[in-house]
Chains A and B, each alone.
Chain A
Amino acid sequence: MNRFLLNRRMMLAGLAASSMMPRMAFAKGAKDKFLIVLSLRGAMDGLHSVIPVGDPHYQGLRGSIAISADAAKPLDGFFALHPAFDFLHKAYQTKEALLFHAIASPYRSRSHFDGQAVLDNGGNGNPDLIRDGWLNRAINLIPGGSGLAVGQTVPLILRGEGEVTSWGPSLLPDTDPATIERLSRLYAGDPVFEMSLQRAMETDALTKQAMGEDAGNNRDTDAVANNVASLMLADGGPRIAVVELDRWDTHANQGGIKGKLATQFGRLDGLLRILAQKFAAQWSNTAIVVITEFGRTAAVNGNAGTDHGTGSVAMALGGAVNGGKVMTDWPGLAKNNLFEGRDLNPTSDLRSMLKGVLGDHLGLGNAALSQDVFPDSSAIKPMRDLIG
């Protein structure tokens, strides 16, 4: 598998093992439920992944990049899945995958960077108002909960007071424990480095425990996914993780059945498959959620690609998921039904899906979800029965 699929924070990460074994900070979660969030950075084209083959306007809008119903994998008659999603399609058939269409965060402009900030901060649409992440706030509500960012740094979605570390494949030999020990004394009281080093060493010790001394330095996507799963499944490991995947910004030549975006879908599908394999023993306790900052234009642009849009697709997959459905209040693709005359109109709020998952999978109450995790969101009702 191509290793460039993974976000640069992950690919360029370098974490090696140390023989220092500090206090083990990852308390065992009350219920040992696993949640993996895959964040597709760059705005994934929902109309290209979960294809509305039954909508009379689809073929006309998409022109040269449209996919025929025959070439796609059938879902419910109206929607079909892009043929690159082999594993996802099987999971849908075995009722372990849910697809959400015409869904979006509350952000309604078309900047990637603000869109990602809103996707991560879980607020009402303002990218600057909230400076920590909804998933971190959720972790903070779970006794003993801890989170893992796959990559060198922690993305906004996981930033905050809850316990979070980051891990990426190692590229260099370890620094000796005595030097680390002196550094940690030098960092005492430092607002940035004290906590960061402590978390790094805790994760490092856990990594060695989970993967052995020499594991964790392979940077292929498969190997990294393997190692992340080992880390999460380890006794005392973080049960919640975020993986960022880049390269969804398909302004030109996105392709059809084959091509640029099909390749991306194939990689995503491969990652889902590996995670499912690794989590097999805990599959009924596992949910994988796939989200993106916004969708793309309903119509193909002048370069056989698509520009920044609004409504898109989200996914939930896992043994814990009550799947086999495309959940949507389909707005239609007629010109007058499009958002601002150009984008798939978002008819559901991503937060309602996420509330459904966090509530039923992690046991968070409605009040906490509407106040702490997604502030001022009591009007956004959780979707029910997503978790089975």
Chain B
Amino acid sequence: MALTLEQSIALNRFGLGARLQERADFDAKLWLRNQCRPYAIDPFAGANLPDTASMKLRRSKDNGRARRERYYREVEARYQWNIAEGGTFRERLVRFWSNHFTVSWAALPPLLGVVGSYEREAIRPHIMGRFEDLLLAVTCHPAMLAYLDNRTSVGPNSQAGRSRKRGLNENHAREILELHTLGVDGGYSQNDVIALAKMLTGWTLEKGRAAFRFEPRIHEPGAKTLLGKRYGQKGQAQAEAALRDLARHPSTARFIATKLARHFEQDDPSPSLVERLADVFLQSHGDLAKLSEALIDAPELWKPELRKVKTPEELLISALRATGLPPRLPDNALLQSARIMGQAPFTAPSPQGWPDRAEGWAGPAALKARIDWANRLAAGIPSMEAPAKLAENLMGPLVSPRTISAIANAESPKQGLILLLMSPEFQRR
């Protein structure tokens, strides 16, 4: 039985792609709705991956090796799960939020050891919870405190600031306002950046251990004013209160709604969709399960036109879901594939995360890399009987007769598979 339009859209646009032997016997919207709740069982429970706090901070050769080892294991476990898992709407959302709250080791190589556990500890537990809890979990995670320098930010009038002549670092506070909550046009000023930076002083790490600690001796004392509101709380509670208010701010609702709509609908999303999502965000107090359900309810996302060009990671995962894993796969082959196509996991070029627009991924050299990668992948897949049939099984009514005919008329099954993977339809979602 062939996939219906709704099933094809659910699998490929909301999820990470249809699988080789996809069965067309499910209710697309119910399948998505059932994913709008936390995992009953942690998907990585059996993988025995080490937590962030167990990582040593001291620099040494052994620690460097241990960090790389952690990264490889985390990335491998994530790929395996993403390729095998049935309900991938949730996994797409994990990736969306992980990218929204980017931590990248590209600029700070020691982070290699904690980027994977960061996503498992700070992102995954909250994707169907409240945005404010997600924001707090992310903001106090050691990976983020290191990535955006807050671990070393010192209140100028704190006990340590006065004696050691150290001071503020604005970086984390600015990115919270600009990239995590309000958005760059969300209505904050340079004074708000400084106020939030002062509130966040003291949010740091334990000595020698990658674990969060609030250190009162570096916390800037006194009340602060953020966005016109006075915060008189003492210690850690002050920034917590501010973060909760930022999470509920209408600018945050609009910013998050815009990014979600861009991710699921099109690069320049419909204003009406953005408005509806922002309303759901505000009225539900940032309930991310409700927001995910609102995506399912959005008619804009069920149109047959494929408007989003896949990122390299989306292409990689959907391609391997489509073909199955090649029988002989060298160590770290999936990671290398992502790297070759320009998107090694957790190496976004800046705190803004990976681009979510076509022009960020579809340049001439990028397209050439995708083709050569598909060529290499197809060479490793045992011969496919009928790639044209596979295309229909994977994409249902989303794939055009012209593409089916091009695949069917290929010189060889291998060439047919390359044409499938590189077709305009499979390159989009």
Contact = CB atoms under 8 A, between A and B. Distances in A.
B400 to A, nearest CB: 10
Contacts of B24: none
A326 to B, nearest CB: 29
A64 to B, nearest CB: 9
A41 B106 CA distance: 14
A127 B340 CA distance: 30
A195 to B, nearest CB: 8
Contacts of B383: none
Interface in B142-185: 149, 152-154, 156, 161, 166-171, 174, 178, 184
A190 B428 CA distance: 12
A179 B419 contact: yes
A175 B184 contact: no
Given A12-B344, A247-B107, 17 more contacts: A9-B342, A14-B368, A15-B368, A16-B368, A16-B372, A112-B350, A149-B363, A153-B360, A172-B375, A175-B372, A175-B374, A179-B375, A182-B415, A249-B171, A251-B169, A302-B154, A308-B174
Interface string A315-344: 000000000000000000000000010000
B174 A196 contact: no
Q: Which secondary structure dominates where chain A touches chain B?
A: loop
Nearest to A299: B167
Contacts of A176: 375
A307 B171 contact: yes
Nearest to A158: B363
Interface in B338-378: 339-344, 347, 349-350, 352, 358-369, 371-376
Contact of A301 (B170, B365, B418): B170
A230 interface: no
Interface string B374-414: 11100000000000000000000000001100100011000
A180 B352 contact: no
A165 B367 CA distance: 11
28 contacts: A8-B349, A9-B363, A13-B366, A14-B342, A14-B368, A14-B372, A112-B352, A113-B178, A113-B350, A152-B342, A166-B364, A167-B364, A167-B365, A172-B340, A174-B372, A179-B418, A182-B410, A182-B415, A183-B371, A186-B406, A186-B424, A193-B367, A196-B367, A246-B106, A246-B107, A302-B168, A305-B149, A340-B190
B269 to A, nearest CB: 14
Interface string B10-53: 00000000000000000000000000000000000000000000
Nearest to B193: A110
Contact of B349 (A7, A159, A168, A204): A7
A364 interface: no
B423 interface: yes
A268 B315 CA distance: 34
Contact of A113 (B171, B184, B341, B363): B184
B349 to A, nearest CB: 5
Interface residues of A, number: 64
B373 A14 contact: yes
Interface of A: 4, 7-9, 12-16, 41-42, 109-114, 127, 149, 151-154, 159, 165-168, 170-176, 178-180, 182-183, 185-187, 190, 192-193, 196-197, 199-200, 203-204, 246-247, 249, 251-252, 301-303, 305, 307-308, 340
B253 interface: no
A113 B185 CA distance: 12
Given A153-B365, A308-B170, A187 B424 contact: yes
B301 to A, nearest CB: 20
Contact of A303 (B149, B344, B358): B149
Contacts of A186: 402-403, 406, 419, 422-424
B261 interface: no
Interface residues of B, number: 60
A111 B339 contact: no
A199 B365 CA distance: 9
Contact of A193 (B153, B339, B424): B424
B363 A152 contact: yes
B427 interface: yes
Given A14-B373, A171-B340, A302 B403 contact: no
Contact of B362 (A179, A196, A308): A196
A182 B419 contact: yes
Interface in B107-161: 107, 149, 152-154, 156, 161
Given A172-B369, A178-B415, A303-B149, A154 B349 contact: no
Contacts of A185: 406
A212 to B, nearest CB: 18
Contacts of A42: 350
A173 B369 CA distance: 10
A270 B309 CA distance: 37
A185 B419 CA distance: 11
Nearest to A4: B106
A183 to B, nearest CB: 6
When A and B form their complex, which 6 residue pairs have the shortest distance between CB atoms, in order from nearest?
A302-B167, A14-B369, A153-B363, A200-B364, A152-B366, A172-B372
A14 B374 CA distance: 13
A111 B173 CA distance: 12
A196 B342 contact: no
A254 to B, nearest CB: 12
B364 A14 contact: no
Contacts of B406: 182, 185-186
B295 to A, nearest CB: 24
A151 B365 CA distance: 7
B178 to A, nearest CB: 5
Nearest to B172: A251
Nearest to B148: A251
A255 to B, nearest CB: 15
A192 B369 contact: no
B170 to A, nearest CB: 4
Contacts of A301: 167-170
Interface in B42-66: none
Nearest to B354: A8
Contact of B418 (A109, A152, A175): A175
Contacts of B167: 301-303
A14 B153 contact: no
A340 to B, nearest CB: 7
A171 B372 CA distance: 9
B205 to A, nearest CB: 14
A174 B374 CA distance: 11
Contacts of B340: 12, 14, 171-172
B144 to A, nearest CB: 14
B363 A154 contact: yes
A252 B169 contact: yes
Contacts of A167: 364-365
A192 B344 CA distance: 23
Nearest to A340: B190
A14 B362 CA distance: 13
A200 B190 contact: no
B138 to A, nearest CB: 19
Given A178-B415, A196-B364, A173 B344 contact: no
A342 B424 CA distance: 50
A203 B364 contact: yes
